[in-house]
Amino acid sequence: MDFMKEYEKWLASPALSDAERAELEAIRSDPKEIESRFYGPLEFGTAGLRGTMYTGLHNMNIHVIRWATQGFADVITAEGEEGKRRGVAICMDCRNHSMEFARAAAEVCAANGIHVRIFESLRPTPELSFAVREYHCQAGINVTASHNPKEYNGYKVYWEDGAQLPPHHADAIARRLGEIDIFRDIKTMPYDEAVSKGLIEILGEETDEKFLSHVMAQVNDRETVAKVADTFKLVYTPFHGTGHKLIPEALRRLGIRHLICVPEQMVIDGDFPTVVSPNPENPEGFALAVELAKKEGADFILGSDPDADRVGIMVKTKSGEFKVISGNQTGVLMLDYLIGAMKRAGKLPEKPVMLKTIVTTEMARKVAEVNGLQSFDTFTGFKFLAEKKDKLESTGEGKVIFSYEESYGYMFGDYVRDKDAVTASLMLTEMAAWYAAQGMTLADALDALFEKYGYYAEKTCNLVMPGLDGLKDMASLMKSLRENPPAELSGVKVAAWKDYQDGSVVDSATGARSQMELKGSNVLRFEMADGTSVIVRPSGTEPKIKVYILTQGKDAADAQANVAKYSKWVDTLKK
């Protein structure tokens, strides 16, 4: 694409506002900036779109939203009149322009004759997944950039099962977007007109109540929560986002009496003024929560990301300080607790199953198998976990009780097909209260699990590669590792390497090749002679390569030494 030609096309378009035109005029003398905005469109994938909010083809703005929605509308229309009647559910997070973008998407859908159910205001991502299923919609749209920095926004798309779009539908939209002009081929209708014609329907508290009824049905042990309710204290932060309403409500309905919310972060604000990054994976974001927890004498901290699909926790140690529990460890704690709680409540199904992604700790598989559960891996992303759940349950092979990935995403029940911080917050709190009744914190509980199941350790390393050059560098690194796989990492031999792109497995000693079930994703896995796995993949939502170290040791120190050893190899990739 001729980026200067595209730049001039945008400047000449009557669709641009005066402010947008001025923004583009301001970069006229900066060809590098023009190229970064107009060298090509944002790539539409199974996660939809995500980018920084500027005026330009490679950014998130109202024109790109309308264009993406027109392509999506064409795919929905291809399902026939029934698909248009079933329509779409639309929601949005707390980010700047999210409501504006969501309404723009609704206007395009309405103009294409597609019925829209749009939330009156911001809602958690799992509630959008729920709404698609509850109202038997054909599809869903969520305007969110999850836990990305404030400059970002995104456009997630869902299909009728409530999961993010399957690859063949994403490909169909991407093809259609290549055929339509971003200004000329867009249908749109004024929002108020679409509402008056019944093409747009507003969703509010009635949907919240339906969603919460399913969330609360996941509770296993109200009695134990009640026993500790007078003394058990927890601090919660929504990081200025969509968890601010439903998560506290769910915890109150559980019976939590001492729920202390971080007041500064209960304020909805797309600039996230109290944190550098609104990501529960980053401990720094919990500074205000830790200060409040120490002041109030709480033992447990919960934080949900801005669209309330991820949740992170911190717990008080014996020294009185607060410790981060990683997403891998949180999932292991939750899985072990859930199995026990469901057994005690008589709710554990026949043929119980746990699902995780290929980059999630192997400790979860150990917990599952020791307790008689089947365990399966999928590619990273809840659309794959949802797809596997549906396949296993439709064939009668098993009933999934828990699905998770290491990046603080957890899924329960049958009413959502995505990460769900609302239900996860409820279950984590029930679990923390249960351990409190045993005189234990979650830090104590995790130590006990290591003693029982073995000492596992994990680390995710991020090789950040921003901008146009970064995309090239990411592709170059993956190509180099694929074509010249290393014989050893940090002095340890590579026993085998797996390429999830074509599903091939190569035995390093013999060169023998075999095939695995999973294939079709740009991921490489090196299985080491000491049992460690090192996995390399480009992020699907951010400009970086992620390297996962999954290891084990004879004790905690040994496991951490393995992590440190392989981290040195990752450092060589940065040079």
Residue 9 resides in a domain: no
Ramachandran angles phi, psi of 348, nearest 5°: -70, 125
CB contact at 8 A, 216 and 253? yes
What pLDDT is stored for residue 466 in this prediction?
A: 82
Residue 313 resides in a domain: yes
430, 496: one domain: no
Distance separating alpha carbons of residues 389 and 377, to the nearest angstrom = 11
Distance separating alpha carbons of residues 438 and 445, to the nearest angstrom = 10
61, 195: one domain: yes
What pLDDT is stored for residue 470 in this prediction?
A: 83
Q: For residue 304, count other CB atoms closer than 10 A to its CB.
A: 29
Final residue in a domain of this structure, among 438, 453, 468 = 453
Distance separating alpha carbons of residues 98 and 156, to the nearest angstrom = 12
Contacts of 413 (CB under 8 A, 6+ apart): 214, 215, 217, 218, 423
Residue 303 resides in a domain: yes
User: 533-538 and 544-553: which strand pairing?
Assistant: antiparallel
Distance separating alpha carbons of residues 403 and 462, to the nearest angstrom = 24
CB contact at 8 A, 544 and 463? yes
444, 465: one domain: no
Please name the helix (run of DSSP H) or strand (run of DSSP E) that holds residue 245, with its range, or none.
helix 243-254
CB contact at 8 A, 33 and 58? no
Locate 207 and state its tokens.
């949907």
CATH of the domain at 499: 3.30.310.50
What pLDDT is stored for residue 472 in this prediction?
A: 87
362, 241: one domain: yes
459, 436: one domain: no
Residue 567 resides in a domain: yes
Locate 382 and state its tokens.
């809840």
pLDDT in tens, 511-522: 999 999 899 999
342, 390: one domain: yes
DSSP 349: P
Residue recorded with tokens 């090509």? 40
For 227, the domain range is 212-453
CB contact at 8 A, 234 and 301? yes
CB contact at 8 A, 314 and 249? no
Closest CA to 142 of 154, 129, 156: 156
Residue 29 resides in a domain: no
Q: Encode 467-492: b = buried (16+ Cβ within 10 Å), e = exposed.
A: eeeeeebbeebbeebeeeebeebbeb
563, 504: one domain: yes
User: 152-159 and 139-143: which strand pairing?
Assistant: antiparallel
CATH of the domain at 278: 3.40.120.10
Q: Residue 146 region, left (φ>0) first, then alpha (ψ -120 to 50), else beta?
A: left
CB contact at 8 A, 452 and 340? no
Task: Give the angle 9-13-16 at the CA atoms, nearest 5°.
Answer: 120
Which segments of the chain have a pLDDT < 70?
575
87, 118: one domain: yes
What pLDDT is stored for residue 575 in this prediction?
A: 67
Final residue in a domain of this structure, among 167, 182, 203 = 203
CB contact at 8 A, 91 and 123? yes
Residue 417 resides in a domain: yes
Task: Give the angle 428-551-560 at the CA atoms, nearest 5°.
Answer: 85
Kindly state the greatest CA–CA separation across the chain: 70
Q: Where are the alpha helices (DSSP H) in 142-231?
A: 167-177, 191-196, 205-216, 222-228
**Catalytic residue (one of 36, 98, 129, 146):** 146
When divided into structural domains, the chain yields a total of 3
What pLDDT is stored for residue 169 in this prediction?
A: 87
Task: Give the angle 197-202-208 at the CA atoms, nearest 5°.
Answer: 160
224, 345: one domain: yes
Q: Is 146 a catalytic residue?
A: yes
Residue 2 resides in a domain: no
Final residue in a domain of this structure, among 453, 474, 502 = 453
What pLDDT is stored for residue 1 in this prediction?
A: 84
316, 235: one domain: yes
Residue 54 resides in a domain: yes
232, 161: one domain: no
435, 300: one domain: yes
3-class DSSP assignment, residue 478: helix
What pLDDT is stored for residue 161 in this prediction?
A: 96
pLDDT in tens, 220-276: 999 999 999 999 999 999 999 999 999 999 999 999 999 999 999 999 999 999 999
Distance separating alpha carbons of residues 59 and 275, to the nearest angstrom = 24
CB contact at 8 A, 400 and 349? no
Asked whether the CA dihedral 316, 254, 215, 123 is positive or negative, the reply is: negative
Distances (CA, A) of 321 to 283, 324, 356: 13, 10, 31
Locate 14 and state its tokens.
């009557």
Contacts of 437 (CB under 8 A, 6+ apart): 224, 227, 228
Locate 89 and state its tokens.
């559910």
The pTM is what?
A: 0.95
